[in-house]
Structure 1
């Protein structure tokens, strides 16, 4: 049973009128005690697919692509860090002296009377960047008079005084990373004999059982002021003294420059070590991501294959 209704609408600007008809259908009613069964679920566009719920593989593909990109990025960073480490290692190989574990190495320098010796060292690599060092000086005791020098060769007392040299420790460093010391030998006016002194520096790595240490050090010497006795005027002597004073200032600047250079070398070696650690961490990260991606792929593949065999749903690869 159906009913229809028409509504007449008159146009405001036109003398004509028109009608709009709307057909009203009653709501459908089901017959009593009847049951209808819906057909099986069929996904439109894939007629060959077996009936069952639809499983989308797009999220799995996105996850796999992200994992692959992460692997590629980590591998690239690892290669860059390894190349950086190799370049640093080549540069750092020409610096420093290697002190083996459990050994001691000494270096000796002869210093004239009145001269100045500047010593600077820095541990650039190995273990905790620490080492023991000692600086000593061996000298001949001074005599009372300059005329006693002639007796050094034929007088037993003065010959023994000449041969029995004394040794004094100037400075020591315990488990130090860097250090510096400046020593000035006594002048001729004080010793009366003007014999040179022997300065020795020893690096001791006996406290280390396995790790060698790489130490870089600098030794700078500066002679005492020598005034020319043939100078014709006092002006030349004053010029020599002024030049010697400027030389002393430059000597101090050179010491500071050497210390800064050693610090820069140590920082470069530390950067090299940090780059190696980061490269190892990235390689480990690559291995972990690769293992996780493989496990994820195998697990999901087995799970989906099992579900398909059970007929619970089908997998779409389109």
Structure 2
């Protein structure tokens, strides 16, 4: 008899066949939306809980308190219900109404911060609130996806094994906490040093350098670089604007039947940029979650219009990628 835990992992890979993919090159997508809660965070949550139980940091029947922008909270709430833990998720106003109902459906407590931190984001405010709650309930466990080495260690030891069975030149993924991409990258490189890694982030995030400024995408980027982000495993980096990531989501839904989240659109577009501007022939891109989480935002015409986003169609996206290629070639010619 299987438990819901047993359905986590072993997600499918498909090849994206679309005119935006350069001729004679390949882009593969690993669809993490096939996890039970529709995201890669199911893996992260499971690893954090398993490691905490083994180390005695989390007691059977205890409580988990975590800061989340969306998906990790869903995963912890699901596992809390399945494994008998109490769960409190600390969120901010950017969280979708569907995510809030998702947490509550599993019986999790929701605690929302309303004041942004000094950078204008909410991540540090959420963490400060987690620490306040831990003082009120000192026996509770904080997984701390940002700085807990159990996060990348689990992905290195477990998730990376799924990526070893495919043939590709570059692994592409987004950075936020850095846990899944750093862990998978470390695991892959330990088996095959020739595999390169592309780290993708949203414009406005400070993870890969620069100062923070607000952006629209949820579940990607941070106002700082967490200790779980290990830059030494990243061979390439690409920064993507909100409009290109959101446009990519819309395009993949309408032209390929793939309903993906904003971070997935970001990774797919960044992977296309690398294919267009380098001699890389094949990329396996991690698609972190499903677009069902964002039907009332990224896929809602009114929301997109209110945020000032102009959706780019295939022609405009191809023009941008071609211009990027021309700029890259010009830089190389003058190097």
| TM-score normalized by the length of structure 1 | 0.16
* More strand as a share of residues: 1
Which structure has the larger Rg? 1
